[in-house]
Structure 1
Amino acid sequence: MKEQRRIIQVQERVPLAQGIPLSIQHTFAMFSASVLVPWLFGINASIVLLMNGIGTLIFIFMTKGKAPAYLGSSFAFLSPTFLLLANPELGYQYALGGFVVTGLIFCAVALIIKVVGTAWIDVLLPPAAMGPIVALIGLELAGTAANNAGLLTNETYTSINPKFVIVFAITILFAIFGQVLFKGFLAAIAILISIIAGYVASLALGLVDFSPVAEASIFALPNFMFPIFDLPSILIIVPASLVVISEHIGHQVVTSEIVGRDLIKDPGLHRSLLGDGISTTLSGLCGAVPTTTYGENIGVMAVTRVYSVWVIGGAAVFSIVLAFIGKASGLINTIPGPVMGGISFLLYGMIAASGLRLLVDKKVDYSRSRNLALSAVVFVTGLSGAFIQIGEVQLKGMCLATIVGMALSLVFYMIDKANLAND
């Protein structure tokens, strides 16, 4: 019988010679998305890289080194922040005040969960709902991966560039077949190898723009900025908290499935959410952006079977170093979209597959009408594009599907308690 590739478990240390490339692999996975958020807000990315790294280390400490996760820039706050920035009388500092309050809300919810426990998750999010919700984390990002790869026509790309297709294909093929054909440590860094292969192909096809390196300074000092607390601005920002809390629960569930441990119970959802809350609060106080656990890095763990928090911590240290070395950040920014798009195809797909795996592992019985209806409604809600508007925040995709799934699950629970089910 063929021996399976060794799994590096959550609290297992790896030799430095292996840990460095494994950590760099995680850094590449999160970099493009994490620096995109500050770029859209018009602030320096160095402060965000710094706070992402510090926030990740705080998260690891708060979860006692038992929950592997990288905290990157959250996209949930784009719409409300843009609304504030559109007002000439307001500035980014007003959004920072809302970010600080958001982080404190996370901390408050974590304390409530500490008191009431997590039994409610089994009631509100049974496997028939949680499986599709986890799958939606990857599925709703599929279009983003294709767009980054230049495989969709839009305002930027009016036609598909054949060079993009070639680079995309080389990258994703290296990533896929690296998992199948590479042996030993090479299999663990297949993502990093595929990025290098795609980058070399991009160089050969003339797709690499080195201007970010030329324009970057050798050393960069993060630009700290202090928040302004304004109640109307805070009220615009905080509804996005619901999106991130829903995302956080989903990420902890999918990570639990990947590493084979129930992270909701140990170290506990209250600890992971508290770590995210402290990170977001600190980021707001220093001038960065809210943080969230990153699906890209969850995907890396799923592909490589390397779950070590020491590797994640190494990626956090690299992020902190990058915050002060402008040329290094500039070099990573030269990686073309088709390369990261090719990687994202596999990583996001792995997350979606983890949701399906949850359904299989929990042996969800689809001969029961309630399970079939619950999964169906969650999937369609998340993929249909339907949304609910709360102020300037849209609840859609996985977040809206989570709310609908919880509401429907609660109704089924009450039907059971009233002995009205026709089972």
Structure 2
Amino acid sequence: MAKRIIQVEEKVPANLLVPLSIQHMFAMFGASVLVPFLFGINPAIVLFMNGIGTLLFIFITKGKAPAYLGSSFAFIAPANIIIAKFGYPYACGGFVAVGFCGCLLAMIIKKFGTKWIDIVLPSAAMGPVVALIGLELSSSAANTAGILGDNIDPKNVIVFAVTLGMAVIGSVCFKKFLSVIPILIAVVTGYLTAVAVGIVDFTPVLEASFISIPNFQAPKFSIDAILMMLPVLLVIASEHIGHQIVTGEVVGRNLIEDPGLHRSLFADNFSTMISGLIGSVPTTTYGENIGVMAITGVYSVQVIAGAAILSIICSFIGPLSALIQTIPNPVIGGISFLLYGMIGTSGLRILVDQKVDYGKSVNMILTSVVFVVGLSGVTIHLGNISLSGMVLACITGMIMSLLFYIFEKFHLLNEEE
């Protein structure tokens, strides 16, 4: 029997809404709170803005694009340089500037349309680019789980294995109500296992005050800081297009056309701009939550909105926020293993669904080069920005696709002989 699909606009039964929303919040939590830790700020403000940003995204895209907004990793390198040189408020000023420019880019796309995407990113290039979104994160999941390196703690391995095992078994064996919350069940099971082996510290929960106000702060602006941050716009635009396409593949809709790339890109960057204005970190659509939708078959924006509201509530309730922060890395890593793999599979699905003909050398070359560039570890440095992995592969694929399009127009391809 095929899995029951709950589509984007469908209402979710009341008894399912809360557990499904919690599942989405847990999926994004580990990666999202890592960014504020790297920047040296309290993660409560990030939980608050993740929720606000997600609700804004749903509103701007008219509830047609299911996406959860979490902390963006694309800004980490330039932001750390700005924080060290000028201070965190100036990094926030950079976030505001990039978000504003991203909104302008969305308006340009609205004016000129999205037909250019089919030219610069045909299926033979888009498939591997989308697959790389998940594949390049696989080592990150293993590192988070604590199962890389020479000195591996057996406790981490046990918790990781239990979490991943429960997620896999739940995804293929659970039925009825349990079949839509396998990730939540895996997180709870992994957490209880972590408590049993003694790697959970409840001290932060006991010491937290019941009501905590997120640490809001105003941005400061410096032209030097803004110029250091601005090249990130190229990275987040490429990432956003990839996420929208893979989400569209998961839910079976063309989100680039409806609600439109201009709407989703504007919403994404508008959230980043607001984040900078209140002292939070930039936001972006999250691959982890795309993976949850792929596994569960639940695409309803009502569930995404529920997760956003829960995130906002957690940002104000000290013990609850602290409790979520006690989820150990092996649990997050175990879940990420499966979710990242599902994203990679979605990229391969594009190649299958679009019936890409690998009898044509153009398609073979495109897919081959994009995969190798993305997985090779090659990094190109442009000032303070680094291009590598999926982003570099995406740019490479766009350049090659454009060249092949020109070659075809001038009848230079040998396949025409």
- When normalised by structure 1's length, the TM-score is 0.97
Q: Does 1:183 align with 2:179?
A: no
Q: Does 1:274 align with 2:272?
A: no
- Which residue number corresponds to residue 12 of structure 2? 14
SS in 2 for 1:86: helix
- Which residue number corresponds to residue 3 of structure 2? 5
Moved more, 354-363 or 165-174: 165-174
Runs ≥4 residues deviating over 3 A: none
How far does the alpha carbon of each residue in 1:305-352 deviate from its partner, in whole angstroms, 9 at most, with x for none? 100000000000011001101111111111111111110000000000
- Which residue number corresponds to residue 227 of structure 2? 235
Give the C-alpha shift of residue 6 in structure 1.
0.5
Q: Distance in 1 between matches of 2:318 and 2:98?
A: 30
What letter corresponds to residue 317 of structure 1 in structure 2?
I
Aligned-CA RMSD value:
0.9
Q: Distance in 2 between matches of 1:25 and 1:206?
A: 24
Q: Distance in 1 between matches of 2:209 and 2:76?
A: 28
How far does the alpha carbon of each residue in 1:268-303 deviate from its partner, in whole angstroms, 9 at most, with x for none? 000000111111111111100111000010010011
Q: Distance in 1 between matches of 2:307 and 2:361?
A: 45
Give the C-alpha shift of residue 169 in structure 1.
1.2
SS in 1 for 2:167: helix
Q: Distance in 1 between matches of 2:377 and 2:124?
A: 21
**Which of 81, 106, 109 is the aligned partner of 2:105?**
109
Give the C-alpha shift of residue 228 in structure 1.
1.0
CA contact (8 A) 1:251 1:295 kept: yes
In the TM superposition, 1:341-380 aligns within 5 A as 341-380=333-372
In the TM superposition, 1:105-254 aligns within 5 A as 105-153=101-149, 158-254=150-246
CA contact (8 A) 1:22 1:188 kept: yes
SS in 1 for 2:414: coil
- Which residue number corresponds to residue 95 of structure 1? 91
- Which residue number corresponds to residue 395 of structure 2? 403
What letter corresponds to residue 42 of structure 1 in structure 2?
G
Percentage of matched positions with identical amino acids = 62
- Which residue number corresponds to residue 82 of structure 2? 84
CA contact (8 A) 1:379 1:401 kept: yes
CA contact (8 A) 1:5 1:184 kept: no
Unaligned runs of 5+ in 1: none
Give the C-alpha shift of residue 216 in structure 1.
2.5
How far does the alpha carbon of each residue in 1:89-127 deviate from its partner, in whole angstroms, 9 at most, with x for none? x21111111111111111111101101100000000000
- Which residue number corresponds to residue 39 of structure 2? 41
SS in 2 for 1:144: helix
CA contact (8 A) 1:63 1:272 kept: yes
Q: Distance in 2 between matches of 1:291 and 1:387?
A: 24
How far does the alpha carbon of each residue in 1:129-182 deviate from its partner, in whole angstroms, 9 at most, with x for none? 0000000000110011001111101xxxx5111221111111111111111111
